[in-house]
Amino acid sequence: MSGGRFWQQLEKGQVGDSVPLAQALDEIPWNADGLIPAIAQQHDTGEVLMLAWMNREALEETLEKGRVCYWSRSRQQLWRKGESSGQVQELREVRLDCDGDTLLLQVDQKGPACHTGRRGCFYNRVRDDRLVVDKPVLIDPASLYGK
């Protein structure tokens, strides 16, 4: 089975049906850079924390170790969340969307998820004709990253 047909077959699945994880990983439609978007969500509150990218190596490490690892597009290397700031994400659950092209990571976020020192990255809210900052800085980013 290849690509889209794999995910179409899963659409017909019943509760409890399963496929081997290795097969599902092979069928993920990684983008041209070998990446897939990953949304991090706080497992107990549903709060959306951030969006980042994973390659297969990052996803496999995350699944194996239970601590979230992303791919840094700017640094072109694995980015273990909290490696420099101490603000780690412990994995609770991974889900893929209906066509396998987006990950949802249910995590337990320790401290701020955003490099700005805010709890999450989605702190800019559109309100009428304004873009409004609606979340406070919890920790000075300079103290998180030693800058």
- Give tens-digit pLDDT for 94-147: 999 999 999 999 999 999 999 999 999 999 999 999 999 999 999 998 887 765
Please name which of 23, 48, 21, 22 lies closest in space to residue 37, comparing C-alpha atoms.
48
- In terms of Cβ atoms closer than 10 Å to its own Cβ (0-12, 13-18, 19+), residue 48 is middle
Neighbour tally for 146: CB within 10 Å: 8
| String of DSSP letters for 71-102 | EETTTTEEEETTTTTS--EEEEEEEE-TTS--
Q: What is the pTM of this model?
A: 0.91
| Pairing status of strand 36-42 against strand 103-109 | parallel
Instruction: Say whether pLDDT at 3 is over 90.
Output: no
Q: Are 26 and 1 in contact (CB under 8 A)?
A: no
